[in-house]
Structure 1
Amino acid sequence: MPLCPLLKNGFLLVLPLFLVGAAAPAAGQQGPLGAFSNQAHLGGGEGTALYDTSAQAYTVWATGGSHLARRRMQDDFVLRTRLQQSGAPAQRKGWMVRSSLADTATVVTGAVHNDGRTVLRVRDGTDGPPKAVRVPVDHPDVLELKREGPTFILSAAQFGDPFTRDSLAELELGPEVHVGLFVSSEGEAEARFHNVRLITPAPDSLVPYEDDLGSTLETMTVETGRRTIHHRSPTSLQAPNWTPDGEALIYNSGGLLYRFDLATKAPEAIDTGFADANNNDHVISSDGTRLGISHHAEAHDGTSIIYTVPIEGGTPTQVTPKGPSYLHGWSPDDRFLVYTGERNGEYDLYKIPADGGEEIRLTTAEGLDDGSEYTPDGEYIYFNSVRSGSMEIWRMRPDGSHPEQLTDDRFNNWFPHVSPDGQTVVFLSYPPSVPPGDHPSYKHVYLRKMPIDGGTPEVIAYVYGGQGTINVPSWSPDGTQIGFVSNTGTH
Structure 2
Amino acid sequence: MPKIPENTMAPRELQPGQRCEVWIASVTGERELVFTTRDVLLEAPNWTRDGAAFILNGAGKLWRFEVGSRTISQVPLTGVPDLNNDHVLAPDGTGIYLSANDGHIYRAALGGGAATRLTDDDGYFHFLHGVSPDGDELAYVGIEAGDFAQPGRLMIIPAGGGDATLLNVDGHCDGPEYAPDGDWLYFNTEAFTSSPGHAQLSRLRTSDGGAPDQPALEQLLTSDTVDWFPHLAPDGRWASYIRFPGGTVGHPADLPVDVVLVSTGDWTTPLHCWPLFGGQGTLNVNSWSPDSTRFAYVAYPVG
TM-score, length basis structure 2: 0.86
1:326 to 106, 127, 132: 127
Show structure 2 runs of 5+ residues with no match: 1-10, 210-214
Contact 1:384 1:415 in 2 (8 A): yes
Q: Does 1:408 align with 2:233?
A: no
Q: How does 1:257-336 map to 2 (within 5 A)?
A: 257-297=62-102, 304-321=103-120, 322=122, 323-336=124-137
Aligned match for 1:386, one of 190, 211, 217: 190
Distance 2:152 2:267 in 1: 27
Secondary structure of 2:77's aligned partner: coil
Does residue 138 of structure 2 align to residue 340 of structure 1? no
Deviation for aligned residue 1:413: 0.3
Q: How much does 1:406 deviate?
A: 0.8
Q: 1:227: which partner in 2?
A: 31
Query: Residue 248 and residue 211 in structure 1: after superposition, are their counterparts in 2 closer, same or farther (change >3 A)?
Result: closer
After TM superposition, list the pairs within 5 Å mapping 1:176-187 onto structure 2. Answer: none
Structure 1 counterpart SS, 2:91: coil
| Superposed displacement of residue 220, structure 1 | 1.1
Q: Deviations over 1:178-211 (max 9, x none)?
A: xxxxxxxxxxxxxxxxxxxxxxxxxxxxxx9565
Q: Once the two structures are superposed, what CA deviation does each residue of 1:82-120 show, in whole Å capped at 9, x if it has no partner?
A: xxxxxxxxxxxxxxxxxxxxxxxxxxxxxxxxxxxxxxx
* CA drift at 1:433: 3.9
Contact 2:13 2:41 in 1 (8 A): no
Question: Which amino acid letter does the alignment assign opposite residue 227 of structure 1?
Answer: R
Deviations 1:277-310, CA, capped at 9 Å, x for gaps: 100000001121110001123xxxxxx2100001
Uncovered stretches (5+) of structure 1, i.e. residues with no partner? 1-207, 298-303
Q: What's the CA shift string for 1:446-481, capped at 9, x where partnerless?
A: 111233254423143122111000100000000000
Show the counterpart of 2:155: 350
Match of 2:164 in 1: 359
In 1, the alpha carbon distance for the partners of 2:262 and 2:76 equals 37
* 8 Å contact kept, 1:406–1:453: no
AA aligned opposite 1:372: P
CA distance in 2, matches of 1:363, 1:449: 29
Pair 480,442 (structure 1): closer, same or farther in 2 beyond 3 Å: same
Question: Equivalent residue of 1:325, what SS?
Answer: strand
8 Å contact from structure 1 (residues 448, 457) kept in 2: no
- Find the aligned partners of 2:168 and 2:24 in 1 and give their Cα distance: 33
Amino acid at match of 1:407: L
Contact 1:415 1:472 in 2 (8 A): yes
Q: Secondary structure of the equivalent of 1:383?
A: strand
Letter in 2 for 1:429: R
Does 1:487 find its partner at 2:279?
no
Matching residue's letter, 2:101 = H
Rounded to whole Å, the distance in 1 between the matches of 2:252 and 2:43 is 13
Selected match of 1:216 from 21, 25, 38: 21
Within a 5 Å distance, the mapping from 1:47-126 to structure 2 comes to none
Percent identical pairs in the alignment equals 35
Question: CA 1:457–1:464 in 2, change beyond 3 Å: closer, same or farther?
Answer: farther
Counterpart of 2:56 (choices 234, 241, 251) is 251
1:439 corresponds in structure 2 to 251
Q: Who is 1:23 aligned against?
A: none
Query: Which residue is 2:5 aligned to?
Result: none
**Alpha carbons of structure 1 residues 465 and 388: separation in structure 2 relative to 1, 3 Å:** same
Larger Rg: 1 or 2?
Answer: 1
2: CA distance, partners of 1:456 / 1:407: 5
Distance across 2 between alignment mates of 1:425 and 1:248: 20
Given residue 232 of structure 1, which amino acid in structure 2 is its aligned partner? T
CA distance in 2, matches of 1:466, 1:243: 23
Shift of 1:316: 1.1
Q: What secondary structure sits across from 2:104 in the alignment?
A: strand
Paired AA for residue 320 in structure 1: T
Give the equivalent residue in structure 2 for 1:419. Answer: 233
| 1:111 equivalent in structure 2 | none
Q: 1:311 to 1:318 in 2, by over 3 A?
A: same
State the SS of the aligned residue for 2:156.
strand
State the Cα deviation string for residues 360-404 of structure 1 (Å, max 9, x = none): 112331x21000100110010000001222210000011443211
Alpha-carbon separation, structure 2, partners of 1:362 and 1:272 = 32
How big is the alpha-carbon RMSD for the aligned residues of Structure 1 and Structure 2? 1.7
TM-score, with normalisation over the residues of structure 1? 0.54
Q: After superposition, what is the alpha-carbon deviation per residue over 1:395-426, rounded to whole angstroms, capped at 9, x for unaligned?
A: 00114432111121111000000111112221
Amino acid in the other structure paired with 2:231: H
Distance 1:246 1:211 in 2: 28
Render the CA deviation track for 1:107-152: whole Å, top value 9, x for unaligned.
Answer: xxxxxxxxxxxxxxxxxxxxxxxxxxxxxxxxxxxxxxxxxxxxxx
The alignment partner of 1:346 has SS state of coil
Q: 1:350 Cα deviation (Å)?
A: 0.7
Aligned length in residues: 273
Structure 1 stretch displaced more, 391-400 or 374-383? 391-400
Deviation at 1:276, TM superposition (A): 3.8
Looking at structure 2, the residues matched to 238 and 274 of structure 1 have their Cα atoms a distance apart, in angstroms, of: 21
Instruction: Answer 1 or 2: higher relative contact order, Cα 8 Å, separation at least 6.
Output: 2
Residue type of the alignment partner of 1:338: A
Contact 1:417 1:427 in 2 (8 A): yes
Change over 3 Å in CA distance of 1:325–1:222 after alignment to 2: same
| 2:196 is the alignment partner of 1:397 | no
